[in-house]
């Protein structure tokens, strides 16, 4: 896909991987609209020339407000990047059930609802793409983050099914599986982290080259293991 001239809606685009994708897509000639909630980050992106739709995606009202704000504009690429991380560890006490609900909605329900609401707009273009950002944790889950891992695994399988449904259409469905990336979400994580700019570069490369998946960093090894020995891949629960 040629990025030049494309209109992109990128959720969670004011920090981390999303911000880096926004910058790189703009450099390639796309018109990029990002979403975000943090006022300081929103203002920073606006200063850099981006349109920002302020929207939380942890409930249906937030997704619907985003769709309404988008209006009747054309759309070529939808990148479902926004996500929430929640520790859910009974070894440390009783987890916050409301935080778990927010995580489930933001990471799984919101991409499904948003994609459904914008599907006809994508179908009207000569070529279009939906990019769902999951995680290597969809393959090898982390013990202390079962809710986050479950949402990413759910989005992974939704993406696989959606790709099959849309295989004969103009819409290419891509799954991006980042490793541990150096973002605010991973502050305090002791594992080696990939720079957000490099992760973003590899996701965009997958879009340009019409790949089905962007397997990034350690996720490449996990995918090889999964293809050879699925049970072993599932057993590689990370202990951090």
Task: Give the pair of three-digit tokens for residue 71.
Answer: 């209006």
Query: 10 near 33, Cβ under 8 Å?
Result: yes
Which is the catalytic residue, given 148, 174, 179, 206? 148
Q: Name residues whose C-beta falls within 8 Å of residue 5's C-beta, 6 or more positions apart in sequence.
A: 29, 30, 31
173 in Cβ contact with 163 (< 8 Å)? yes
| Active-site annotation holds for 148 | yes
As a whole number of angstroms, the distance between CA 118 and CA 121 comes to 5
- C-alpha distances in Å from residue 187, one per residue of 79, 139, 159, 229: 24, 22, 28, 32
- For the annotated catalytic residues, the residue numbers are 148
């Amino acid at each position: 896909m040629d990025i030049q001239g494309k209109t992109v809606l990128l959720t969670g685009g004011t920090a981390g991987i999303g911000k880096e994708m926004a910058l790189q897509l703009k450099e390639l000639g796309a018109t990029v609209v990002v979403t975000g909630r943090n006022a300081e980050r929103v203002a920073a992106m606006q200063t850099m020339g981006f349109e920002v739709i302020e929207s939380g995606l942890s409930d249906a009202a937030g997704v619907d407000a985003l769709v309404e704000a988008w209006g009747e504009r054309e759309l070529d690429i939808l990148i479902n990047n926004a996500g929430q991380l929640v520790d859910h560890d009974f070894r440390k006490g009783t987890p916050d059930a409301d935080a778990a609900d927010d995580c489930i909605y933001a990471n799984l329900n919101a991409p499904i609802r948003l994609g459904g609401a914008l599907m006809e707009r994508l179908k009207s273009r000569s070529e279009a793409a939906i990019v769902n950002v999951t995680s290597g944790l969809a393959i090898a889950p982390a013990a202390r983050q079962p809710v986050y891992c479950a949402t990413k695994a759910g989005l992974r399988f939704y993406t696989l099914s959606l790709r099959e449904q849309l295989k004969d259409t103009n819409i290419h469905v891509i799954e991006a599986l980042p490793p541990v990336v150096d973002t605010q979400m991973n502050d305090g994580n002791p594992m080696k982290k990939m720079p957000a700019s490099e992760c973003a570069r590899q996701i965009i490369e997958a879009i340009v080259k019409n790949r089905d998946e962007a397997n990034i960093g350690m996720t490449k090894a996990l995918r090889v293991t999964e293809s050879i020995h699925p049970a072993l891949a599932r057993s590689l629960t990370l202990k951090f």
